[in-house]
Amino acid sequence: MVTAKIAPSLLSGDFSRLAEECERMARLGADYLHMDVMDGHFVPNLTLGAPIIKSLRPHTKAFLDCHLMVSRPEQWVDDFAAAGADLFCFHHEATADAAALIARIHAAGMKAGMAIKPATPVDVVYEFAPALDQVLIMTVEPGFGGQAFMPECMAKVSALRARFPDLDIQVDGGLAPDNIEVAARAGANVIVAGSSIFNAPSPAAVIELFRKAVTDAQPVA
């Protein structure tokens, strides 16, 4: 049985106070801190990189879940390991040798995750899943926050959960109180959310709502 892990996306935080935002989210109950790394090439946006992860690491003990929306993710493994990333999640679409990349991530001391875009079929993940610590099913097109959740992606979550009942399955994009139950019932247990947490009157209440939805959706032992 998997456990709920709630991962606020710092892309929606105040970048002028990023260390404080990390600590605030951890204090309010976040399990992971989700770091959206974009290179302006794989996706049409440019965000933070390894130097920012390195600058944040001394200020938080939280689990840093780094989602690399970049071309050639191989070139960044060592930098993110040195910076203190806990999980390095690359896109299947961005590498020609996923097995080698997973092995390299593990050798560098990080957990390995694989992400797929909404148009990518889930079966590309199956051969790699036994070696992965997490699979990320994107529920929006990667690149920008604030997009609408794509419920059609839940079929991929369900298919993945049926094959790998103990795998951490993450969803990212448009997750909010009005759709979290759909994602949880499909089998997602690692929930990334940006604006729905950071813009809420009570971020802690939203984090707890997400956690309860995932926990309630778990099969009875």
Q: Which residues are catalytic?
A: 36, 172
* Rounded Cα–Cα distance for residues 98 and 124 (Å): 10
Cα dihedral value 141, 143, 149, 150, nearest 10: 0
Say how many C-beta atoms besides its own lie within 10 A of residue 100's C-beta: 11
Q: Please report, in angstroms and rounded to a whole number, the separation of the first and last CA atoms in the chain.
A: 8
* Rounded Cα–Cα distance for residues 154 and 190 (Å): 14
